[in-house]
Amino acid sequence: MLQPNDVVELTCGAPGHGGFVVARHEGRAIFVRGALPDERVRARITEVKKSYARASTVEVLDASPHRVPEACSAAAAGAGCCDLTFADPAYQRELKASVLRDQLRRVGGFAPAFFGPEWDTVVQPLSDAPVAGWRHRARLVADGDGSLGQHTHRSDAVVVAPCAQLPDALTDLAAGLRAEPGTEVALVLDDAGAAHAAVPARRGRPAQVLAGDALAEYRVGARSWRIPVGGFWQAHRDAASRYAQWVGAYTSRFGGEPGRAWDLYGGAGVLAGALVDEGFAVDVVETSGGAIAAGKQTFAGAPVAFHRGDTASRIKGLPSPAVVVLDPPRTGAGAAVMAEIAAAEPRAIVHVGCDPAAFARDLGAACENGYRLAELDARDAFPGTHHLEAFAVLVPGREDRRGR
């Protein structure tokens, strides 16, 4: 019987959702990290469940032609940061596209035939930025000696080693800092070129600045925001501006005459800015008081209203929208929120999603409530990892290309 720490030889199959490939051993599915499709590997079993097990590659016996030398020192030492930096970047995007298609089919209910030439789900680069050093904000944790590093995969152990995602400025900053063991530290290289580090504020305790300032400056177009170092902003340095650009373009194509718009899970209003630029008055719904405060400062005098609270409850009293933009957390918006959005009968729903399964589930829910998919795109906003960012535009109409 398979046990943790057993080392087994496996032939790897398709990528799965979560940064692994799927192999089989004695009738059981094995989710293997550190391997690519069609590789033969020796892998150590790390977890055993009734119907599946998890494993980590310890030796590659037959390598994929897409395998390259590991680019992340932290990942090589076991950190859970970069789980695809041993594959060439173009092939990373192919794997992500495969996972997205699979989730749209299995979770969203879209028929395989749906993905023909019109809907070729290719994951494109986010920008022309290098695939290393792209992350301008990160959270590290102090090990037993106070040095900053990252947790190993599915563990509280900490690896202190350079991560390929971080620019040199943040790697150097982290190397010079110390904190109490177990303390989480937020790092930011902001759009003014300043590096900051802080222990984020917690209930009853203010933020503790370790380097730089308490607020980081971010810019999108002519607008700027001052956000607490531990507050949310997109991880990739180009993401916020590109997302705003694409949301503006989608709104221009599908939104019709400017009117009212909703920006749900809206943070400090980056996507609201794109809607304002298209002539819309915007209602932003957000749970974070800090994000709302920053957004109100940026949008003083603009037709933007911020509403603090849970999306499901706050949208019930909002004016009817012509366009709805939502960028929910990794768990997605959920069927109830998607049904409420559809009930408001917007001309277009623009969905931005960072988790393929949740994204697919939300799109399926929209289709169940009288909307159809009009546009689909995906971008590699997290190079070297299994994560991606997906974009969809839904418009009124029944979808006839879903196979349930």
Listing DSSP states for 296-320 in one string gives: HHHTTTSSEEEEES-HHHHGGGSPP
Q: Point out the residues of the chain with pLDDT beneath 50.
A: 403-404
Burial of 175 (0-12, 13-18, 19+ CB in 10 A): exposed
Residue 86: phi, psi to the nearest 5?
Answer: -95, 5
Reference 188, options 171, 175, 170; nearest CA is 170
Q: What's the one-letter identity of residue 193?
A: G
- 8 A C-beta contact, residue 158 and residue 146: no
Rounded CA-CA distance 23/45 in Å is 12
Is 391 in contact with 379 (CB distance < 8 Å)? yes
Contact 44, 32 (CB under 8 A): no
| Residue bearing tokens 């930025």 | 129
354 is catalytic: yes
The pLDDT value given to residue 354? 96
- Predicted confidence at residue 404, as pLDDT, reads 41
Tokens linked to 216: 């980081």
Q: Is 286 annotated as a binding-site member?
A: yes
What domains can you pick out in the chain, each with its CATH number? 7-67 (2.40.50.140), 92-129+237-396 (3.40.50.150), 137-228 (no CATH)
327 labeled part of a ligand binding site: yes
Question: What is the model's pLDDT at position 112?
Answer: 75
Do the annotations mark residue 52 as ligand-binding? no
Tell me the per-residue pLDDT of 141-196, one tens digit each, with 9 for 90 and over: 999 999 999 999 989 999 999 999 999 999 999 999 999 999 999 999 999 999 99
Which residues, listed in sequence order, are joined to residue 156 by a DSSP beta bridge?
Answer: none
Phi and psi dihedrals of 6, rounded to 5? -60, 145
Judged by DSSP in three states, 356 sits in helix
Of the listed 12, 81, 163, 354, which one is catalytic?
354
Beta bridge partners of 152: 79
User: Cβ distance 22 to 16 under 8 Å?
Assistant: yes
CA 60/CA 7 separation, integer angstroms: 13
Q: Say if CB 294 and CB 234 are below 8 A apart.
A: no
Q: Write the CB contacts of 1 (distance below 8 Å, at least 6 apart in sequence).
A: none
Does the annotation list 245 as a binding residue?
A: no
Q: What SS3 class is residue 395?
A: strand
Strand (E) or helix (H) holding 124: strand 123-125
Angstrom distance (rounded) from CA 280 to CA 212: 37
pLDDT score for 13: 98
**Sheet arrangement for strand 371-380:** 123-125, 371-380, 389-396, 348-353, 323-326, 260-264, 281-286, 304-308
In the β-sheet with 208-211, what is the strand arrangement from edge to edge?
158-159, 148-151, 137-142, 184-189, 195-199, 208-211
**362 Ramachandran zone, left/alpha/beta (phi>0; psi -120 to 50):** alpha
Mean residue pLDDT of the chain comes to 95
212: left (phi over 0), alpha (psi -120 to 50) or beta: left
